[in-house]
Amino acid sequence: MKTTNILVRRRITWLFMIGALLLSLIVFRLAWIQFVRGDELRQKGIINRMRDVPVEAKRGSILDRNGNELVTSISADSIYVIPSHVKKPDEVAAQIAPILDMDEEKVKNIITKKSRFEWLKRKVDFETSHRIKELKIDGIGFAEESKRHYKQEALAPHILGFTGTDNQGLMGMEAAFEEDLKGVPGRIVIEHDAAGREIPQALHQYIPPTQGNNLILTLDQTIQHFVERELDKIVMTYNPKIAVIIVMDPKTGEILALGNRPTFNPNQWRDVPQSVWDRNPAVWYNYEQDPPSK
């Protein structure tokens, strides 16, 4: 009987020690999570709950010496998708691909990606945006962006340059003064639940963008029009490979007008060969060259 009591006590003691050890491990683990990894896990939780929608900054305008606006930015909708919210991706892709003039398989690949945010198509026209909005598809949203617009389509394109899809300057003044023109982008932060659904009356933070600075050139729009007209006459009369006219103020050295042929429309720069816009002949070809001697 006494031996049995001793065995029971030993077993209870061992169970108590094992329980105490397990409890200590749990307490240690909780303390580790709370005090050592607390900030890291808190940040990860915020990242998982929050969804960022970028808000593009409006690019600054480019003006001539008299304040005439040569380049401005107009509003255009860009369509984005939150893949985890899209139900029946096959049906959605079949619906919107013809409207967006995109391959159905490409659309399906975008809306089924394992990411929190994907652009579907950037800077679409009003009609396309309106047709997609009418479908009211879960997971597809719209962000207002700005699209570069060159008001005088054939006026000094080699000087003004053009921008890419993300409104980044790729050539001319647009590229040379990128930091001044581009502004600072903003964002919309939206809180979602564990299933990825937007929480009503939850944390919605709007961080507004900062518009870029305007750029005033020494060009004179009226003189530039005369230059473009005379260049057209030269091309019609002599059909040269390259034609250049530069008008300078002799007192200050300011360039009042500068034109080249061949030329292009900066609103549709993708439609012309790169050889037309990749260099500015008035800058690159400074001197006439004699033909090589035989």
In a domain, 45, yes or no: no
Plot region of 191 (φ>0 → left; ψ -120 to 50 → alpha; else → beta)? beta
Q: Are residues 65 and 129 in the same domain?
A: yes
pLDDT of residue 37: 76
Residue 193 CA: distances (Å) to CA of 82, 190, 205, 274, 286: 14, 10, 16, 48, 63
Ranges of the chain whose pLDDT falls below 50: 294
Query: In which domain, by residue range, is 155 found?
Result: 52-216
Q: Is the full-model pTM beyond 0.75?
A: no
Q: Are residues 116 and 261 in the same domain?
A: no
Q: Are residues 72 and 181 in the same domain?
A: yes
Q: Are residues 81 and 190 in the same domain?
A: yes
Domains: count for the chain = 3
Q: Are residues 102 and 225 in the same domain?
A: no
pLDDT of residue 51: 67
Q: Are residues 148 and 242 in the same domain?
A: no
Q: Are residues 168 and 25 in the same domain?
A: no
pLDDT of residue 170: 93
Q: Are residues 72 and 197 in the same domain?
A: yes
pLDDT of residue 239: 93
Q: Are residues 141 and 279 in the same domain?
A: no
Q: Are residues 63 and 160 in the same domain?
A: yes
pLDDT of residue 118: 86
Residue 196 CA: distances (Å) to CA of 61, 138, 178, 232: 39, 11, 37, 59
Q: What is the CATH number of the domain that holds 101?
A: 3.90.1310.10
Q: What is the mean pLDDT of the chain?
A: 85
Tell how strand 140-150 and strand 162-163 pair up: unpaired
